Amino acid sequence: DTLLPESKLMANYIKQYEQEEKYTLNVFTPTTPIDGKLFYPPLKGKIIKAYNPKEGHFGIDIQCPRNTAVSAVLDGTIVSAGYTIDYGYVIYIQHSNNYLSVYKYNSGILKNIGDKVSGGEKIAVTGWEDGKSSKQSCVAEFQLWHMGQSLDPEKYITF
């Protein structure tokens, strides 16, 4: 992100986090296959706002503990990763067969544009201050798209 330089504190946190998680086995298990793909949950938590494209909500909102690791749902390539005023740090991952996953409301990102990621690999950390967050919990949004059409993530992934 060229508009907002990474703070030294965040850089140290990311470095320490990656070192600690280097040999951690993924505790998430893939769930429903679609097009021969197994989706990993991006994070575990309570869904507090369901998918509703009629209201312009193209994903799901998940309440989770602050500083929860966010994982890629499939193998893919980071095509966008940066800070926005409205959504905090946001990551877009392009997957094979025209799938795209979107991860919003993060307090930090662990990957850069162009990075290849595996399903279940940690890509971000939750906790963006948006007024919905408390000291203990926060809200993350996850979206899943296929060929330009939004999908209901709950039909493919167990949260």
What is the rounded distance in angstroms from the CA atom of residue 124 to the CA atom of residue 145?
A: 19
In a domain, 130, yes or no: yes
CB 62 within 8 A of CB 71: no
Lowest mean pLDDT among 16-25, 100-109, 121-130: 16-25
Residue 117: the pLDDT is 96
State the pLDDT at residue 43: 93
CATH of the domain at 138: 2.70.70.10
pLDDT at 73: 96
Asked which of 20-24, 47-51, 58-62 is least confident by mean pLDDT, the reply is 20-24
Summarised one tens digit per residue, pLDDT across range 17-41 is: 666 665 554 444 444 445 666 789 9
Residue 151: give the domain boundaries. 8-155
**3 occurs within a structural domain:** no
Q: Could you read off the pLDDT of 75-99 as tens digits, one per residue? A: 999 999 999 999 999 999 999 989 9
CA distance 51 to 73: 17
Give the span between the Cα atoms of 1 and 82, in whole angstroms: 5
Torsion of CA 110, 125, 85, 39, to 10 degrees: 90
CA distance 109 to 18: 11
Domain-located, residue 142: yes
In a domain, 38, yes or no: yes
Residue 1 has pLDDT above 50, yes or no: no
- For residue 1, being part of any structural domain is answered with no
- Domains held by the chain: number: 1
Whether 2 is in a domain gets the answer no
**Alpha-carbon gap, residue 15 to 9, rounded angstroms:** 10
Percentage of the chain with pLDDT > 70?
79
